[in-house]
Structure formats: structure tokens, C-alpha cells
Amino acid sequence: MPENKPIIEVKNLKEYFNINTGLFRSKPLKAVDDISFSINRGETLGLVGESGCGKTTVGRTILHLYKPTGGEIYYDGKQIKTNADIKEFRKKATMVFQDPYSSLNPRMTVSDIIGEPLDVHKLCANKKERRDRILELMGYVGLNSEHAARYAHEFSGGQRQRIGIARALAVNPDFIVCDEPVSALDVSIQAQVINMFDELQEKLGLTYLFIAHDLLVVRHISDRIAVMYLGHMVELAPAGEIYDHPLHPYSKSLLSAVPVPDPKTARANQRIVLTGDIPSPLNAPSGCPFRTRCRYATEQCAQSMPEFKEVSAGHFVACHRVDEVN
């Protein structure tokens, strides 16, 4: 069970990318715009939203793969600022990438791929210790010792993702950013990999930021779920709470699209279809970013960005009209 002590705290995080718009002109693309949240030790926070909403950018910016434009990131109460802080942090925080086909070096054997973080951080005293550690990591993710000398292209997608997970575990991390780790896999393999994440969390005391757009997968693995839209966080609540009582109009729409296996229930469910197109983050609407597609939007929504506030214990929402629409 997660402890109530934050391992990761993110305060007012911003990540802007300058995009050239013409002759000597550029404009900031606000991929992540002023979001704050924390993740408790031993917890899984699911991060959902449609493609392009900034989910992956959040994960990469926390790990300083992108330099944050603004805001603060804390690990275990200590702010990560200097290069020395980042180097130390990366011994305790790693990432599992979305695409197991492009995230592994085709010229390296499995043993070398998994062993690379051990070499970079000088975690093994000799070759025997290194080899034993690699075989131990392979055992964690269900790979055999015979696989060590083979190359990544000889494996299926699910096995490649297991190699990626073993590589992420090499530094003995506390915190792992899982960036859509099962979206490129077959459904039958997805379940195995998700269960493996659960088992590893139990066994090694890991904390996850689990990024995905499949809401059923997120519900299965997450303790709490955060919903993002166009670079902003619009809702954050315990997983059961957000499924049973979504408060933000965007969350309601997302959850109404989740397939239900029971035909009777499925027919009774009212699908909330959003009108209009997703605005570009280069030209985001004023005020609330969701207002152009929201049927409850008023003049106030166009004028000011709603505050991301706690409306009940642990349930945060950014919506001016949250009381009226629920």
C-alpha cells in the first residue's frame, strides 16, 4: 500500500518549445503549462488524455530529458536543480519507453542493453558481479539466461518490452516513468506486462508514473488518476472515484467512451460525444483550454483559467462550473 509521503513533487511545471512560424519569428508551443501534483512512495499515478495533450512531455521533463521552462521538481523533499542533482536523481529514477522496437539498440546484445546503466553509473565492481546482476534482472522480467547473448531483433514485441523494463530496473530505482509501455503490444501480451509491473512494484517497492490513453489499463494499475487536456491538468482523484464520479466535462466524455463488456449496460450508457476539433497548443484558447468543446462553457470560461482546486478529499478539478454541471 502506498505511504502518504511524496517521493516526487511537481510545482507549476512548464515546458515550452519554440516553433519557427516564419522569417525570424518563433512562437512558444506550450506542451505543459503550469501543472502541479505529487506522487506518494509506493503509489502508481495514472496520467491519461488524448494524443498530443502533453502526457509524455510531463514524464520526460520530470526526468530532465527536457530542461523545464519553469517550475520546480522535488525528489524525496530535495529540489533537483544542478547537473549533480540530475545525475544523482537518474540513479533513482528511470523510464520505460513506449516503442520497444526503437528504444533498443539493434547492434547490442540483450546482456549489453541491460548492462549499460550498470556501466554508466559504475554499479558493479567486476565482470562476474555485472553478469550476475544482469541475469538477476532478466529473471525479474521472465527472460532466460540463454537470451543474454541474443540481439533485440530476435525477440517479439512483448519480450523486447521486458528487456526495456529490465534495463530500467538496472540502477535499482525508486521511481519509474512508464510512457505508454503496453500501447504497442497485442492485447493478450498487454495483460502479462501490466501484471508484471504490479508484481515488480510489490517486490521492489517501486513508484510509477503510468502514462497511457487506454483507460481500462490505467484503472487496473493506478491508485490515483490524473486527466490532462492541452497541456493542463483538469482532474486528479483516486482511481475508483474518477471512474464512478468524474466531475470535469472532459473526464466525463473520456469515460463515456470506455467499452463495457455487458451489452445491457453498454446500451444504457450515454456516450458524450465532443464537438469541434482539438485546438492547437500553438494557438490555445483563452481562459479554460477545454471551453471550445465544452457544452457548459460561459463567458467566464473564456476570460480566466479555472483554478485547479480540491473539491472533496483528494479530488482536484479545474472547472469554473463544477458545481452546476454535477
- Over residues 71-99, the pLDDT tens digits come to 999 999 999 999 999 999 999 999 999 88
Cell triple for 221: 494499475
86 and 121 together in one domain: no
Q: How many CB atoms lie within 10 A of CB 284?
A: 16
**What strand order describes the sheet that includes 6-22?**
25-40, 6-22, 70-75, 78-79
Look at residue 294 and tell me if it is in a domain: yes
Can you give the pLDDT at residue 264? Answer: 76
143 and 88 together in one domain: no
Q: Which amino acid is at 51?
A: S
216 and 269 together in one domain: yes
Look at residue 97 and tell me if it is in a domain: no
Q: Sign of the C-alpha dihedral, residues 276, 279, 283, 287?
A: positive
Q: What is the pLDDT of residues 230-251, one digit of tens each?
A: 999 999 999 999 988 999 999 9
225 and 309 together in one domain: yes
Average pLDDT over residues 10-29: 89
Can you give the pLDDT at residue 13? Answer: 95
Look at residue 1 and tell me if it is in a domain: no
15 and 163 together in one domain: no
Q: What is the pLDDT of residues 116-171, one digit of tens each?
A: 999 998 889 899 999 999 999 999 999 999 999 999 889 988 999 999 999 999 99
192 and 244 together in one domain: yes
Distance CA 173, CA 180 (A): 19
Domain final position from 137, 156, 171: 171
Look at residue 98 and tell me if it is in a domain: no
Can you give the pLDDT at residue 2? Answer: 52
For the chain, what is the domain count?
2
Domain final position from 171, 199, 214: 171
263 and 195 together in one domain: yes
Q: Cell 513533487: give the residue.
A: 9
167 and 291 together in one domain: no
What are the DSSP E strand ranges found in the chain?
A: 6-22, 25-40, 44-48, 70-75, 78-79, 93-96, 175-179, 207-211, 224-229, 232-238, 308-312, 315-318
116 and 255 together in one domain: no
The radius of gyration computed from the CA coordinates of the chain, to the nearest angstrom, equals 21
CA quadruple 310, 260, 212, 210: dihedral, nearest 10: 60
80 and 112 together in one domain: no
Rounded-to-5 percentages of helix, strand, coil across the chain: 35, 25, 35
Distance CA 307, CA 102 (A): 39
Q: Are 206 and 173 in contact (CB under 8 A)?
A: yes
Domain final position from 146, 171, 196: 171
Look at residue 246 and tell me if it is in a domain: yes
Q: How confident is the model at residue 179 (pLDDT cuts 50, 70, 90)?
A: very high
154 and 178 together in one domain: no
User: What CATH number did the domain enclosing 21 receive?
Assistant: 3.40.50.300
294 and 247 together in one domain: yes
By residue range, what is the domain housing residue 306?
6-92+173-325
